[in-house]
Amino acid sequence: MASSSSEDQNPHHIPIKIISDDEMALIEAAFAFASTRSCSAIRSSSSSSKSPLHNNALSITIASKRRLSSGSDIEDLPTRKKKHPLPDSFLHRFRNKRALSITDLTSTEWCQKQVEFSLLLGGRKVNQAMRAGIARHAKLEEEVLKRLEVKVKYKEDLWALKFLNFINGVNQLLFEGLTRELPLVGFVEGTWMVGVLDEIRIPLEENDNNPIIIDTKTRARDTLPSEPQRRNGRLQLMCYKYLWDNLVADNFPSNSFFTYFGLNPQHNLCEDLKVLSADSGFSASTLDDVVRYYRNTCRMLAPAHDQLLLRYEYQKDHSLLGEDKFTYDHDWLKDQIRSCLEFWLGDQEATYTPEEERWKCRYCQFAAICPAYNDGKGTMAPNSNDLNIKEG
């Protein structure tokens, strides 16, 4: 992968701070900015001959991919596709002309009031355990990817970088059987959303082209997480599967994308991106060229596997604490997305975490000012595990 840079002398340049993808995930989790965390880097396969891909001896079959039929998507959610967010909604106030991140959704499921406080007062502080999680995920990424530096000046170039990251990641998935830190962009219930797949693999079984979505979460304690934490992790992976499947079904409205983000599809890409697109196997001169190839790449893919996998690691020695294998739940995901978007679109006020989960308040930096924690009930917290470190 490569990080982007810009020239300070250019009055139209977009300032870029070079940070790791996982560090950007924490920024997303803090709700400070919901832009993409991989648009500022170009990926390429690791040149190391000791890649774990070879050690795992993955079975790779490149064949014609099934496309997801519209009947199996969740396009039938009875929500406000044609409407705009209310002027005083959190989506309009804090994500206007930006995409919601999957972390925005999962954090809303965790506690809507905490999200409200984060937006109005500032995001979550990064502690030592979180930094350890950042370091671990950076290491996992380095096992299969490397960085290449790219100079960019315009937002069109930044989006082109993101799409090129996806294209190169998919190429690695098809030829090597695995890729990590794969950026996704999708249109969910009339709202643009972004996410980054921690890991996606081609299954070992023959005649199974449906890739498996995997996420690794590190733990400061050598214990498995509580059920609310596992539930939150499941929501995250189900959202990833939905975004992936939506792309495979060719549900990417290009014109809406250019309009919403204020992008010029005929923007002439910087020279570095033209070279990188050629290295990726196609010739691109404009952002529109990259988006069209992005959509063509998606069409050749199969829907994600219905079986999803959460892995929990102990931070101290990276030992595996356990795995949570679960099945994609279409109806449950519909309900969760609907509830989260009602909050972001201004259709409902922020709700407090339920009383049986008020132990979460002990880990919230806003507990001192939260009525739910100071009503005499918040102190009655069960013995809970530490929060998952990597949540987005």
DSSP codes, 266-334: TPBPPHHHHHHHHHTTS--SBHHHHHHHHHHHHHTSPPPPSEEEEEEEETTT--EEEEEEEE--HHHHH
Residues in the chain with pLDDT < 50? Answer: 2-40, 46-82, 377-392
> What pLDDT, in 10s, does the model give residues 268-278?
999 999 998 99
Write the CB contacts of 356 (distance below 8 Å, at least 6 apart in sequence): none
pLDDT score for 226: 94
Distance, in Å, from the CA atom of 2 to the CA atom of 308, rounded to the nearest integer, reads 29
pLDDT score for 205: 78
State the CB neighbour count (10 A cutoff) for residue 141: 24
pLDDT score for 61: 24
Domain ranges for the chain, please list them: 2-369
pLDDT score for 239: 97
**Its pTM surpasses 0.85:** no
Contact predicate 289/274, CB 8 Å: no
pLDDT score for 137: 67
pLDDT score for 182: 94
- Tell which phi-psi region holds residue 61, choosing left (phi > 0), alpha (psi between -120 and 50) or beta: beta
pLDDT score for 322: 96
pLDDT score for 42: 59
